[in-house]
A = this chain, B = another copy of it.
């Protein structure tokens, strides 16, 4: 083979890392949402909203706790640490921008919401900045 394009390898590597972070991001955002609505996030509610069995949610929460993003006691709700809440804010903001960008280029509301749930995790900070700039230009 000839030389291998380093940009391409980097792209695949980036996609893999993003995929690895995706679960964490979605759980943290959801816990934050539930906390805002009900004051706390219950395992059952997390599982229901994410569409998984409850042991799957339990396992994910265990990882969040291990990573210092959440805390919880047995049979009680799950709460975000400061770090977790900060991440949630970032993720929520990015989610909104991605949906807005999709809407702005003509993607139907419903579809935009569905696709954004996956796309968001692969939008880098530089792409996000470009999206925001575009939306500002368009709004003015």
Interface residues of A (CB under 8 A from B): 1, 4-5, 7-15, 18-19, 22, 26, 38, 42, 44-45, 48-51, 101-102, 105-108, 110-119, 121-124, 126-127, 130-131, 133-134
Determine chain A's interface SS by DSSP, over half rule.
helix
Number of copies: 2
Among A15, A108, A121, the most chain B Cβ lie within 10 Å of the Cβ of A15
Closest CB of chain B to A74's CB: distance in Å? 20
Residue from B18, B42, B48, B50 in contact with A118 in the complex, judged by beta carbons closer than 8 Å: B18
Q: How far is the CA of A137 from the CA of B125 in the complex (A)?
A: 27
Q: Is the CB of B4 within 8 A of A49?
A: yes
Q: How far is the CA of A113 from the CA of B14 in the complex (A)?
A: 11
Residue from B14, B45, B48 in contact with A117 in the complex, judged by beta carbons closer than 8 Å: B14
Q: Is the CB of A105 within 8 A of B121?
A: no
Contact of A113 with B11 at beta-carbon distance under 8 Å, contacts A19-B118, A118-B19, A126-B108 already known: yes
Q: Is the CB of B108 within 8 A of A105?
A: no
Q: Is the CB of B26 within 8 A of A116?
A: no
Q: How far is the CA of A63 from the CA of B8 in the complex (A)?
A: 23
Q: Is the CB of B113 within 8 A of A127?
A: no
Q: Which residues of B contact A108 (CB under 8 A)?
A: 126, 130
Q: Which residues of B contact A12 (CB under 8 A)?
A: 26, 50-51, 117
Among A26, A118, A123, the most chain B Cβ lie within 10 Å of the Cβ of A118
